[in-house]
Amino acid sequence: MATPVNHSVIKAFQILHAFSYAGEKLTLSQVARKLDINIATAHRFLTTLQQVGAVVKMPGGHFELGLLLFTLGGRVSVIDAMNSIVQPHVDELADQLGETIHAAILDNDEVCYVAKGEGARSLTIRTRMGARLPAYCTGVGKVLLSRLPDDYCKQYAKTCTFKKYTDSTIGTAKQLLKELDQIRTQGYSMDNEEFERGLCCVAVAIPMPTSEEYHLQAAISMSAPSVRLGEEKIKEVAGILRSHAETIANELSARDIRES
């Protein structure tokens, strides 16, 4: 049986599409006429969209598109810009190391993958550009969390739902916070069969350009079977990843992805 669609979500996007361009002003009655719905229904949807920032009600009573849509559009631009710069490094690392390489950013406490490369010995890993995974049980996720302020990490750990993907998955806030401290000390993180049995990951942070108004966390990683990642190999890989991460950061800084 097919999963039923949510018609309220469809209607909300139809209302957003009623605005032909950014800055167009529409009254409540104009929105109702464009969608052939009654005034009460249009008002209910517009009020809800206003609460989340998707539309703004102006002093004259008309509505305009809100900043939420521009913010979301900006995230897409950042992902595209990240991919164009990071992908060549990901491909080079995949060829050099022979394993699966990922680059990811942290978005709303989730890992969002922006690039992937597969080497000669790569396993079949079900990830793709734009895919999202929890931060607490992935190598890139943990190294990204480790770069955030301590208070933020404590709040994340306090509210996190620790789903157990394998017997090795971190299961408590105390365990996560302890590991984040260790990552800060050693300069890289590990996913030691936490998300998928038999699969390990080494990850390092990309030291992204930041300012008070702009802050993006990004990381790069290598995934491989646990049998191919001994202690010395892990340190070697971390060093190689770190070298590329620094180069990526320099390229991102030179391009200034905020303007992409």
Nearest partner of 188 among 249, 134, 143, 244, judged by Cα: 143
Residue 260 has pLDDT above 50, yes or no: no
pLDDT score for 212: 40
Residue 168 has pLDDT above 60, yes or no: yes
Residue 159 and residue 135 in contact, taking contact as beta carbons nearer than 8 Å? no
The backbone region for 57, taken as left when phi is positive above 0, alpha when psi lies in -120 to 50, beta otherwise, is: beta
Query: What total of structural domains would you count in the chain?
Result: 2
The answer to whether residues 121 and 55 belong to one domain is no
Mode of pairing for the β-strands spanning 100-107 and 63-65 = unpaired
The answer to whether residues 169 and 40 belong to one domain is no
Let me know if residue 203 belongs to a domain: yes
The answer to whether residues 128 and 212 belong to one domain is yes
pLDDT score for 83: 73
pLDDT score for 51: 86
Across 101-116, average pLDDT: 87
Query: Can you give the CATH number for the domain in which 99 is found?
Result: 3.30.450.40
Q: Of 42, 65, 88, which closes a domain?
A: 65
The answer to whether residues 61 and 77 belong to one domain is no
Show the domain range for 14. Answer: 7-65
Q: Of 17, 36, 65, which closes a domain?
A: 65
Residue 28 and residue 43 in contact, taking contact as beta carbons nearer than 8 Å? yes
Let me know if residue 139 belongs to a domain: yes
pLDDT tens digits, 120-162: 887 666 677 777 899 999 999 999 999 988 998 999 999 999 9
Q: Of 26, 48, 65, which closes a domain?
A: 65
Confidence at 180, pLDDT banded by 50, 70, 90: very high
pLDDT score for 213: 37
pLDDT score for 210: 53
Across 15-35, average pLDDT: 84
pTM > 0.75: yes or no: no
Residue 38 has pLDDT above 90, yes or no: yes
pLDDT score for 121: 80
Residue 258 has pLDDT above 60, yes or no: no
The answer to whether residues 103 and 163 belong to one domain is yes
Residue 91 has pLDDT above 90, yes or no: yes
The answer to whether residues 99 and 197 belong to one domain is yes
Q: Which residues contact 99 (CB under 8 A, 6 or more apart)?
A: 119, 121, 122, 222, 223, 224, 228
Among 57-66, 115-124, 176-185, the range of highest mean pLDDT: 176-185
Across 221-250, average pLDDT: 93
Residue 5 has pLDDT above 50, yes or no: yes
pLDDT score for 67: 63
Across 105-117, average pLDDT: 85
